[in-house]
Structure 1
């Protein structure tokens, strides 16, 4: 016996008449009669006694109805769970990037994500920008984009993409005549960084510090847009990832220069807390994130 037969029997009993069952199931009278005959043929016994215009359950019908309630309840539960898993699940993803306040990629990611998960709210936690891993461990955000993974059993790191750090300078800057810059080139420059300490800044960690070089001046600006405006005004140089600089690279007043002959590359990760019952939509969000930002 098929699920549609169980729904038919349940509807006839609950609605009290064939006419009402027809309306509920959106069937024609002939279709309803045909399905009922099919059910009785499959069972090999009458399901209803026909008494005048009424249908009264037989003993076999009573047994089938009891089973129908149990089976249909479970089927409805499965359908709800599947729909919820695919599209109807509700929740929130609180996220932040490390160092950058550049979120130009968010609309494209959300456009893809919202097709499959329209009830998941994605929030950007700007206040966690400079301490995303700490905020993740404290439960204040759910996902962090970082290039500096800290070994911790509570955190899972998923590789997103490799990026290259580029020096951003105004079009009139002497560096625009160079194929690349090295540590000593920073000795006369005002280096704009997003946050202290300087030891956490990638270009300092991997290029300046090993060469024992300090920039002539240091300006701390937590906002990417403000830092770029400083560069436009020829008030300093900025070293940032290409993906974060992407919205600004079409401006005619700006140029980029490679850092070191080999280039300054980093691996970016999505950091999330290890949890055996983590919702599946996290995996989908990270997938769309990787597709959009990957260079």
Structure 2
């Protein structure tokens, strides 16, 4: 089991309901359900009984909760010790991502990190967006957030989190009647993507290219807000991560549709130079990303 699974079990028990656990962990309902299923699959037994819409710990769940308190307590102690160890260090982390939508969640996360590490400046290099790995190799940035690891021996990729991508369509679109869409459905629509080349676009990498399917039309539009407005006007569909859509889903004009029965997931990584002597606060920053960002 992973730390995030232990946090989910602990939050559900402490908060007394899934709804309050969702608020505490800042997860979507589907993300929490997915993590709980992952936890139960990994232990090989149910963690909760579902009784009258309530979750009650099974005997296995009681043991998991007990170990969760112990492990998370040790982790909190370790983090406190590390913070005290490096708290006096002064440094800088130059960061970039491969996607502009990541900047929706980065500022809030960076504020939380700076509260714990006030002497470490984290700067975002916007110019390196869409090409963070070459900029990392050339020394223009120190860390890159990417979902596209490459077989580059000079780099190492540390797993951060998984996020689900969904199709965004206007209200009344035929897809809203479907529980999910498949690759073949995209052959009939104008697909709006943020950037080229296509081999770096997740929906092509993981779905369309393997199925040998091309959209009826392809529109490249790097601005998320403009893409959303085209969708509202029924001029295309866009595929985006659930968390990136949060600012827009209050609109009654938009709907989301799952992609494939299992969902379209991608793994996010922190990329850094291999065999490089980084200060301790770099490792702390990567761990902070992996633990604090949950969708």
SS of equivalent to 2:96: strand
* Contact 1:98 1:146 (C-alpha < 8 Å) held by counterparts: yes
Give unpaired runs (5+ residues) of structure 1.
1-81
Residue by residue, what CA displacement relative to the aligned partner does 1:16-46 show, whole Å, maximum 9, x if unpaired?
xxxxxxxxxxxxxxxxxxxxxxxxxxxxxxx
Partner of 2:88: 88
Partner of 2:37: none
Partner of 1:159: 159
* Contact 2:163 2:242 (C-alpha < 8 Å) held by counterparts: yes
* Contact 2:155 2:274 (C-alpha < 8 Å) held by counterparts: yes
CA drift at 1:251 = 2.9
Partner of 1:170: 170
Partner of 2:179: 179
> What is the distance in 2 between the residues matched to 1:190 and 1:157?
34
> What is the distance in 1 between the residues matched to 2:151 and 2:199?
19
CA drift at 1:84 = 9.2
> What is the distance in 1 between the residues matched to 2:99 and 2:125?
12
* Contact 2:148 2:200 (C-alpha < 8 Å) held by counterparts: no
Partner of 1:278: 278
> What is the distance in 2 between the residues matched to 1:215 and 1:124?
34
Aligned ranges 1:102-113 → 2 under 5 Å: 102-113=102-113
* Contact 2:83 2:116 (C-alpha < 8 Å) held by counterparts: no
> What is the distance in 2 between the residues matched to 1:140 and 1:84?
29
Compared CA separation, residues 287 and 250, structure 1 to 2 (3 A): farther
> Could you tell me the TM-score, scaled by structure 1's length?
0.66
SS of equivalent to 1:140: coil
* Contact 2:170 2:234 (C-alpha < 8 Å) held by counterparts: yes
* Contact 1:167 1:259 (C-alpha < 8 Å) held by counterparts: yes
Runs of 4+ displaced beyond 4 Å: 82-85
Alignment: residue pair count: 214
> What is the distance in 1 between the residues matched to 2:83 and 2:244?
36
> What is the distance in 1 between the residues matched to 2:185 and 2:163?
22
> What is the distance in 2 between the residues matched to 1:99 and 1:211?
24
Give unpaired runs (5+ residues) of structure 2.
1-81
SS of equivalent to 2:110: helix
CA drift at 1:129 = 1.8
> Could you tell me the TM-score, scaled by structure 2's length?
0.66
> What is the distance in 1 between the residues matched to 2:287 and 2:255?
31
CA drift at 1:130 = 1.1
Residue by residue, what CA displacement relative to the aligned partner does 1:139-195 show, whole Å, maximum 9, x if unpaired?
111111111111223212111111111111122221111111111211221111111
> What is the distance in 2 between the residues matched to 1:155 and 1:177?
44
